[in-house]
Copies of this chain bind each other. A is one copy, B any other.
């Protein structure tokens, strides 16, 4: 998937590059830099001069942004090693001005209550590293926002080996968090009438049940399905997150039927249940900036309006960490959950274990949070664990993750708020009567 995404991205860049060249300033000393993918000491010196030039706006803000375009173009021509050097220049040279901040903090501490408020502005300003301006300036470019999102993706990756980049990544996250606030995003439906350019990205970005080919995709966009995504207005061709929904009669118990291209179309007028069977974040560079909970709730509202006959909104979700967890526990604990008459690791036993895992196991860091990440996502959004399904995902991935089991999480609008509260404050997990019974036997 990442490979295809990369390929798409580089195509896009290729298309834009001539234009970028165009918007950058004419008297272009960077141009003289050989466009070798690695940087040597001399190159770095030139780059620093350019970065300085972007940050001073003696010649006007418009020109400064033009220079930022040139820098961006240069960055795109570098290989990974070159990019680490480029980013390190930004990370190492344009930090917070410590002397200024020292003065500001001391002034604030020394002030009395009445004066403090007016000193906070300088404190805030002193805390802003100069490179924030440089990062911001990239946004005016064609595809500039996508450029920054992808730069953060790289920072997240590179930061593991180059800790000096971490503060730069944090700065970029702050910038992107402001711009990608959920209130600025637009929810749009994606269907077979969407552009091939966009649909191709669904194939690339789908993270739960891989889309095999265009026929598989078409099946998922048929008239008994819905797909919705959030978009940022400055990245109109790039979904940020998308969810795939099947309109069915009764609660879907396995993903094989949903993805069967030869299955007949559902009669949509008989559907009573909306099954959210896949939700994928599409932009690795937006990690940690969440909008999944907003997307689910807006989709529920939208579907309620379009299909007044729907009575249930539920997911069909993987249990990604079940088998990993199973490997970590000892036989004793496992046996303790073994009912009389059940063979160890029999289907019945496995289901019992899975229900225990979902309902009882917690994160070490936070005893209120379910250990399974998908369970935690839906529980923290106010869903209830509704049903465990055996042989629900018989793909290799499904077997490997959870022995083929999947869960339905049920979203019941009137209870969502109280469940979120119970879960976030007390770690209480909402369970259907059936699950509760299974858990307690």
A interface with B by C-beta (< 8 Å): 14-15, 25, 58-63, 65, 95-96, 98, 101-102, 105-106, 108-109, 113, 116-117, 120-121, 123-124, 127, 136-141, 144-145, 167, 170, 174-175, 178-179, 181-184, 192-197, 199, 213-214, 218, 223, 233-234, 265, 293-294, 297, 380-382, 416-418, 420-421, 424-425
Contact = CB atoms under 8 A, between A and B. Distances in A.
A25 B417 CA distance: 10
Nearest to A58: B421
Given A62-B294, A95-B117, A179 B184 contact: yes
Nearest to A136: B181
Contacts of A14: 265
A48 B105 CA distance: 31
Top 10 closest pairs, chain A to chain B, by CB: A233-B233, A139-B183, A140-B183, A60-B420, A59-B417, A178-B178, A105-B105, A193-B195, A58-B421, A59-B421
A227 to B, nearest CB: 12
For the complex formed by this chain, how many copies does it contain in all?
4
A60 B378 CA distance: 12
B417 A139 contact: no
Given A61-B293, A137-B183, A192 B195 contact: yes
B140 A182 contact: yes
Contacts of A144: 183
A172 B394 CA distance: 52
Nearest to A265: B14
A95 B98 CA distance: 25
Contacts of A265: 14
A361 B174 CA distance: 43
Contacts of A192: 195-197
Question: Which of A120, A145, A218 has the most CB atoms of chain B within a 10 A radius of its CB?
Answer: A120
Interface centre among A62, A113, A139 (most CB of B within 10 A): A62
A121 B63 contact: no
8 contacts: A61-B294, A96-B120, A120-B127, A124-B127, A144-B183, A145-B183, A179-B181, A196-B214
